[in-house]
Chains A and B, each alone.
Chain A
């Protein structure tokens, strides 16, 4: 069964460093998303992406964040200069029509 994959599963970085989180969405899906979940809190929307451009972004998704679909299979989230408060699980999701399917997540720890 097709699934969304994410790498790495765990990333530890120092404050101020750049990180890139990678996702491979399900192959025939057209809509792509990033969400995050701070420990003990709800899943929060960051950004949606369709037809090679951002469709919608939340207040969290400021100038420090960017997304890219560099080729036909990968979808990336870049955080330019990480802060302590960026520590969270980051989930990639994709959909073809209605249901969004989520990847296993990348745990980002900023020290």
Chain B
């Protein structure tokens, strides 16, 4: 069974204080690992897809990396508007496979 574990559950940062969010996974043949942002009461908003170990993707203050067992979402010099829950999900091999999500990491950035 595919499993995704995210840590820590919650993270409070001061504006400008960089940090990393962790996503550990087990999956039978990884097709892709996905990061989403979710604001309260809203749907997940797509951020990144990573397909193979060693791959990195960047968008503004966010950078996602992937190894064979985990992924990190690095946040550089965060701003209060980066406050949200960040979800990690994996998709097993198969074109139409479902996403298996972790519980998410709730990030709060104080001004």
Q: Which residues of A are in contact with B by a Cβ distance under 8 Å?
A: 4, 31, 33, 35, 41-45, 48, 50, 55-56, 58, 89, 91, 98-105, 107
Contacts and interface: CB of A to CB of B under 8 A. Distances in A.
Contacts of A107: 41
Given A31-B96, A41-B103, A98 B44 contact: no
Nearest to B102: A42
**Number of chain B interface residues as a range:** 20 to 34
A101 B44 CA distance: 8
Interface of A is mostly: strand
B96 A99 contact: no
B56 to A, nearest CB: 17
Interface of B: 32, 34, 36, 41-46, 49, 87, 89, 95-104
Contacts of A45: 98-100
Contacts of A100: 34, 46, 99
A43 B96 contact: no
Nearest to A41: B103
A98 B96 contact: no
Contacts of B104: 42
B44 A91 contact: yes
Contacts of B101: 42-44
B100 A48 contact: no
Contact of B46 (A50, A55, A58, A101): A101
17 contacts: A4-B43, A33-B98, A41-B103, A42-B102, A42-B103, A43-B101, A45-B100, A50-B96, A56-B96, A91-B43, A99-B34, A100-B46, A100-B99, A102-B46, A103-B43, A105-B41, A107-B41
